[in-house]
């Protein structure tokens, strides 16, 4: 058996194309959209929608692939690479601007939840819209004021109205990424949706959790607040209010019966298994941007990083840069392993949380150290280093904080349940 570390050709090609987008449509506007927090980069959104449509879809989501099979386009059989491709694309876009990447049109976290928890009919119904005429967004809302890391504590309720055969949702969700773009009716955008996690039976705890697709324009669903944030400021983060929101029966993702299983909760966790490596990839894009900038500034002042020279002969700054490169590469290899497992339909809860923990640490450390080494240049708003430092921290917060993902890793390795180790 051979181990192949070269990225497959489609990954290389996509990176090359997206690198230009990242440089010309993202990086060059980064500061503007950081300063003008809730301005919307329509040029980027519309360009990406057109580009993704021309590639056969309306979002970056991986296409269904058959393991080791033909992919229906006449190309030679090859192992599936959908998630690997996506991780690489996201890393490149985040190198351009991670906040702008988060408002790349398409399904985002909302579609990831549908992919993880929906029936095939629901997937066909809800995911088709991203390839339509207008850019369209979807979001996912789990977090509530009293339920962040402890997702089982959600209080949003869904009750079946047997007279009308509709689910009626009530509650408030906070910190919903792209909540505004998926739900506010901008003329330039198509009709989006949010996947709302709610309980259909609070006594059943996790077994009672279900995801519901709530479409924009549904009466009773409102965006009530947009956060002002430290980083990723161009990405909208919304508070949603749900008051007597009615959705059809088949908007509940998966099965409505509450058996003594945790199917609904598993759907939520499966979403995170798929998306944590992608969050890790986005953080690593920011870290690479910072590290490359540091090397460029060092080179401009006559400091070249010498690889292959004994460590004791290197200057301190050379050692630091090389250490950061090592950290970055080891985190990236962990991402690649997690997405390879996702592509090959292997359970990857452990690898997914592990790479997120590692990337969260690495991204935070690299951007912080770059700011420090650059001195006043690092702290000045004239350069983007300070912005990358602010943007980096979110890698360690959403989709499970560093602490929570460490707990998940420990449980997986030691064989403890959530009740036994918390």
Ligand X SMILES: Cc1cc2nc3c(=O)[nH]c(=O)nc-3n(C[C@H](O)[C@H](O)[C@H](O)COP(=O)(O)OP(=O)(O)OC[C@H]3O[C@@H](n4cnc5c(N)ncnc54)[C@H](O)[C@@H]3O)c2cc1C
Binds ligand X by CB under 6 A, chosen from 237, 271, 352, 353: 237
Pick between residue 84 and residue 115 the one whose CB is nearest to ligand X.
Answer: 115
Is 399 considered catalytic here? yes
CA dihedral 22, 24, 30, 32 (to 10 degrees): -160
- Determine the angle formed by the axes of helices 120-127 and 108-117, rounding to 10 degrees: 160
Find the catalytic residue in 144, 351, 386, 399.
399
Per CB under 6 A, 177 contacts ligand X? yes
Per CB under 6 A, 403 contacts ligand X? yes
Q: How far apart are CA 104 and CA 106, in angstroms?
A: 7
For the bound state, the minimum distance from the C-beta of residue 143 to ligand X, rounded and expressed in Å, comes to: 4
- The residue behind tokens 């029936």 is 119
Pick between residue 142 and residue 305 the one whose CB is nearest to ligand X.
Answer: 142
Per CB under 6 A, 272 contacts ligand X? no
Residues 334/359, Cβ–Cβ less than 8 Å = yes
Per CB under 6 A, 152 contacts ligand X? no
Say which residues have a Cβ less than 8 Å from residue 390's Cβ, sequence separation at least 6. Answer: 230, 231
Binds ligand X by CB under 6 A, chosen from 50, 119, 149, 315: 149
Query: What track of x and - describes contact with ligand X for positions 343 through 372 (by CB under 6 A)?
Result: ------------------------------
Element (H, E) at 272: helix 263-300
Question: Within positions 210 to 229, which residues make up the interface with ligand X, using CB under 6 A?
Answer: 229
- Residue 170 has phi, psi (to 5 degrees) of -140, 135
Binds ligand X by CB under 6 A, chosen from 374, 398, 408, 411: 398
Of 211, 39, 189, nearest to 119 by C-alpha is 211
CA 221 to chain centre: 24
For the bound state, the minimum distance from the C-beta of residue 97 to ligand X, rounded and expressed in Å, comes to: 15
Per CB under 6 A, 176 contacts ligand X? yes
Pick between residue 68 and residue 403 the one whose CB is nearest to ligand X.
Answer: 403
- Determine the angle formed by the axes of helices 402-414 and 349-374, rounding to 10 degrees: 140
Question: Within positions 126 to 145, which residues make up the interface with ligand X, using CB under 6 A?
Answer: 139-143
Total interface residues for ligand X by CB under 6 A = 22
Pick between residue 8 and residue 418 the one whose CB is nearest to ligand X.
Answer: 418
For the bound state, the minimum distance from the C-beta of residue 180 to ligand X, rounded and expressed in Å, comes to: 11
Kindly list the residues in this chain that would bind ligand X in the complex (CB under 6 A). Answer: 109, 139-143, 148-149, 175-177, 229, 237, 394, 397-398, 400-401, 403-404, 407, 422
Residues labelled catalytic = 399
């Amino acid at each position: 058996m051979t181990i192949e570390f070269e990225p497959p050709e489609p990954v290389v090609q996509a990176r090359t194309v997206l690198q230009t987008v990242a440089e010309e449509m993202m990086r060059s506007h980064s500061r503007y959209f950081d300063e003008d927090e809730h301005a919307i980069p329509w040029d980027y959104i519309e360009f990406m929608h057109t580009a993704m449509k021309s590639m056969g879809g309306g979002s970056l989501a991986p296409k269904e692939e058959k393991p080791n099979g033909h992919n229906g386009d006449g190309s030679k059989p090859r192992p599936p690479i959908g998630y690997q491709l996506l991780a690489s694309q996201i890393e490149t876009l985040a190198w351009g601007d991670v906040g702008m990447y988060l408002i790349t049109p398409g399904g985002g976290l909302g579609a990831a939840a549908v992919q993880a928890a929906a029936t095939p009919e629901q997937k066909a119904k809800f995911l088709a819209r991203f390839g339509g005429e207008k850019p369209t967004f979807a979001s996912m809302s789990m977090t509530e004021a009293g339920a962040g890391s402890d997702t089982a504590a959600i209080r949003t309720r869904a009750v079946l109205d047997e007279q009308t055969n509709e689910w009626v949702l009530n509650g408030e969700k906070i910190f919903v990424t792209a909540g505004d773009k998926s739900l506010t009716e901008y003329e330039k955008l198509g009709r989006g949706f949010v996947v709302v996690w709610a309980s259909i039976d609070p006594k059943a705890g996790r077994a009672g959790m279900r995801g519901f697709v709530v479409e924009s324009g549904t009466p009773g669903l409102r965006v009530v607040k947009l956060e002002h944030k430290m980083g990723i400021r161009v990405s909208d983060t919304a508070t949603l209010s749900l008051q007597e929101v009615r959705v059809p029966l088949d908007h509940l993702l998966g099965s409505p019966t509450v058996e003594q299983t945790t199917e609904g909760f598993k759907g939520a966790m499966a979403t995170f298994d798929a998306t944590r490596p992608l969050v890790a990839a986005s953080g690593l894009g920011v870290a690479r941007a910072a590290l490359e900038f540091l090397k460029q500034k060092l080179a401009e002042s006559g400091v070249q990083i010498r690889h292959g020279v004994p460590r004791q002969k290197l200057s301190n700054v050379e050692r630091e840069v090389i250490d950061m490169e090592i950290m970055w590469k080891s985190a990236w290899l962990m991402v690649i392993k997690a997405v390879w497992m996702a592509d090959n339909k292997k359970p990857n809860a452990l690898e997914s949380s592990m790479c997120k923990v590692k990337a969260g640490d690495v991204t935070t450390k690299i951007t912080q150290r770059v700011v420090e080494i650059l001195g006043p240049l690092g702290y000045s708003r004239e350069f983007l280093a300070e912005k990358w430092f602010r943007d980096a921290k979110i890698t360690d917060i959403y989709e499970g904080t560093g602490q929570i993902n460490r707990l998940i890793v420990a449980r997986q390795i030691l064989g403890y349940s959530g009740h036994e180790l918390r």
